[in-house]
Amino acid sequence: MIVSNLHAMIAPATDPAPLDGLLERAERDGIGGWARDPAAPDFPVELDIVLDGVRAARIEASQHRVDLDGAGIGPHAFLLRFPPGLRASEVAVLRAGTEQHLPGSPRRLPPPPEEQDPAADLAAAALAASEEPGEAASLAADLADRLAASLARPDLRQARLLARWGHGPPRGAPPHGTAPRSIAIDQGVPDPARDAGSNAILSHLESLRRLGYTVEFAAAHSLARAPAHDGIEARGITPWHAPWIASIEELLAAAGENVDLVYLHRLPVMRRYAALARDWCPNARLVFCIADLHHLRAARQHAIEAAVPFEAALAAPRIAALRTQELAACAAADAVISHSQAEAAIIAAQAPGAVVHVIPWHVPVRPATTPWAERRGVAFVGSYGHPPNLDAALVLLDVVMPLVWARAPELRLVLAGSDLPASLAARASPRVDLIGQVPDLASLWNQVRLTCAPLRFGAGLKGKILSSLAAGLPCVTTPVGAEGIPAAALPGSIAADPAGLAAAILRLHEDEAAHRAASDAGLAYARSALSEAAIDAAMRDVCGLA
């Protein structure tokens, strides 16, 4: 494995304090443990995995585990499966970019087993699949045919997987050589009902398919088959998961020169796999979708919580290091996708040489069908596990709506979205509905007249606002919430303080003409900027097809 100097470009400038944690398990099939930075316990720690002295992979300790959650440690577990045939004898786990070992590191790995004859693997797979001798024999014969066909190819990894698991390749896997091939990697499996990031990557991958690419997808944080994989397959995208791959590293290494484009979504994925994609997929165009600028969101949050100027928050050591990492990652890609024109300008100014493309995602235009006069109330939609959304919901509930209710006491507030905390759900009342995740937002849009997103911090383009505009519902929001959306799409809907937000809610809720004008402006924006044709035109440039 070759180590790219990308790791050095995005490494912290100085060694921080020792980590809490432990390398608990080190076997030939993988490693596991937990790691937490005591100086920043709310943030995940990135770790370098070193095999026989070579930095081979970068992972994030950010998984939940029952025992760690019960001990109050939180989501700081990690688990990495090694590809079959690993020959290393020692593994070490270091804080990313440093020589600082996690407690319990390094560890000697058990000696590798002797190579087995494929026939023995076939027999073991068959016997494990059935207790009936006749059925086992039939399965073994079928597997032998598959193995013989796969051995005609140089891809021995696939042959071993066939022998071990007794299945064919993932459903929908494309034949080689028929179309340009793309591989996309995200942290988790996209679920369009969960968050805007899922909708963004799915929109871009569907665009790649329309542009003629075969599209494959793998999730870095979970290789297990998940229900959301069904949705991936329904869109014509091939999902890679266990048992077909044991790691993302294996997928990239096996793809090699036969992949034309690698799409990496979000900074942790870019940091972990960019160097490996460059080394193992030398013919691939490397595309980095930032989703949003993490350092910008973190600085805004710090400025509010610490009551310091934004410039001072931006200079805080942790945020400054994050900024350096993001800009270096942008410079390392062949093409960078930003959803926001404002953030694209920041990248262009501060990462010279980065080629930035502004691409939102497709949002179908489906205007609410219930007449305006038959709808009442205002809604907020968001994933409450995302700190900017929870903060905005509390601001709306505790600061903005009391001003609205002083003039319109019967006006209904609906809080919808995933990960609704119990502390917030307990605050339901006759005029506050907390309904949690809604599978189809159309039912909500047909009940209320508008939405409100009083975001005090955050970054990127806001999916909750795009969905509202595409349904013909005006969205009252702050300058932070409106960032990246043309002001013409939000007429009379942007305010910087609670009084202004309350006034806009009342006006757009009670004045049908003002509501209609704002609705028409939002729909016009959605039809032009968020259409499949607009996304395809922009993605064509990203792929270098223009």
Round to whole Å and give the CA distance between 50 and 104: 14
Compute the mean pLDDT over every residue in the chain, rounded to the nearest whole number: 84
Q: How do strand 107-108 and strand 54-61 relate by DSSP bridges?
A: unpaired
pLDDT at 500 over 90: yes
Torsional sign, CA 271, 277, 279, 283? negative
Q: What CATH number should be reported for the domain whose range is 6-108?
A: 2.60.40
* CATH 3.40.50.2000 segments of the chain: 181-361+534-542, 372-530
Round to whole Å and give the CA distance between 149 and 126: 18
Q: What is the mean pLDDT of residues 161-183?
A: 54
pLDDT value of residue 114:
55
Provide the residue type at 478 as one letter: T
Length of the chain: 546
Fold held by 372-530: Rossmann fold (3.40.50)
pLDDT value of residue 172:
44
pLDDT at 425 over 90: no
Provide the residue type at 458 as one letter: G
Q: What is the mean pLDDT of residues 84-94?
A: 85
Q: What is the mean pLDDT of residues 491-519?
A: 97
pLDDT at 493 over 80: yes
Round to whole Å and give the CA distance between 248 and 226: 16
- DSSP H helices, 396-446, are 401-405, 422-425, 442-445
Q: What is the mean pLDDT of residues 253-270?
A: 93
pLDDT at 545 over 70: yes
The tokens describing 157, both together, are: 């990894």
Q: What is the mean pLDDT of residues 154-170?
A: 39
pLDDT value of residue 165:
34
pLDDT at 404 over 90: yes
Residues of the chain with pLDDT > 70: what percent?
84
The tokens describing 35, both together, are: 């790691």
Round to whole Å and give the CA distance between 156 and 76: 35
- DSSP H helices, 179-225, are 196-210
Q: How do strand 356-358 and strand 335-338 relate by DSSP bridges?
A: parallel
Please check whether residue 431 is in contact with residue 411, taking contact to mean a CB–CB distance below 8 angstroms. Answer: yes
Residue 93's nearest CA partner among 22, 42, 29 is: 22
Bridge partners for 436 per DSSP: 416
Round to whole Å and give the CA distance between 544 and 546: 6
Q: What is the pLDDT of residues 348-362, one digit of tens each?
A: 999 988 999 999 999
Q: What is the mean pLDDT of residues 249-275?
A: 92
pTM tops 0.75: no
Burial 64-83 (b: 16+ CB within 10 A, else e): ebeebeeeebbebbbbbbbb
Residue 506's nearest CA partner among 359, 406, 418 is: 406
φ/ψ (deg, to 5) at 263? -110, 115
pLDDT value of residue 161:
38
pLDDT value of residue 152:
40
Of 27-31, 114-118, 265-269, the one with minimum mean pLDDT is 114-118
Q: What is the mean pLDDT of residues 179-201?
A: 91
pLDDT at 6 over 60: no
Name residue, tokens 């073991």.
124
Give the end-to-end CA distance of the chain in Å, rounded to a whole number: 34
Round to whole Å and give the CA distance between 489 and 528: 11
Round to whole Å and give the CA distance between 401 and 396: 6
Round to whole Å and give the CA distance between 360 and 484: 9
pLDDT value of residue 366:
95
Q: What is the mean pLDDT of residues 282-311?
A: 93
Round to whole Å and give the CA distance between 81 and 61: 14
pLDDT band of 135, cuts 50, 70, 90: very low
Q: What CATH number should be reported for the domain whose range is 181-361+534-542?
A: 3.40.50.2000
Of 202-216, 274-288, 417-431, 481-495, the one with minimum mean pLDDT is 417-431
Q: What is the mean pLDDT of residues 128-149?
A: 44
Of 98-107, 155-164, 447-456, the one with minimum mean pLDDT is 155-164
Q: Which residues contact 67 (CB under 8 A, 6 or more apart)?
A: none
Q: What is the mean pLDDT of residues 274-284?
A: 93
pLDDT band of 86, cuts 50, 70, 90: confident
Please check whether residue 125 is in contact with residue 163, taking contact to mean a CB–CB distance below 8 angstroms. Answer: yes
Q: What is the pLDDT of residues 200-246, one digit of tens each?
A: 999 999 999 999 999 999 999 888 888 888 899 999 999 998 878 88
pLDDT value of residue 3:
33
- DSSP H helices, 215-368, are 228-234, 248-255, 267-280, 294-306, 310-314, 317-332, 341-350
pLDDT value of residue 178:
67
pLDDT value of residue 352:
85
Round to whole Å and give the CA distance between 416 and 537: 33
The tokens describing 529, both together, are: 């900027």
Cα 352 → chain centroid: 26
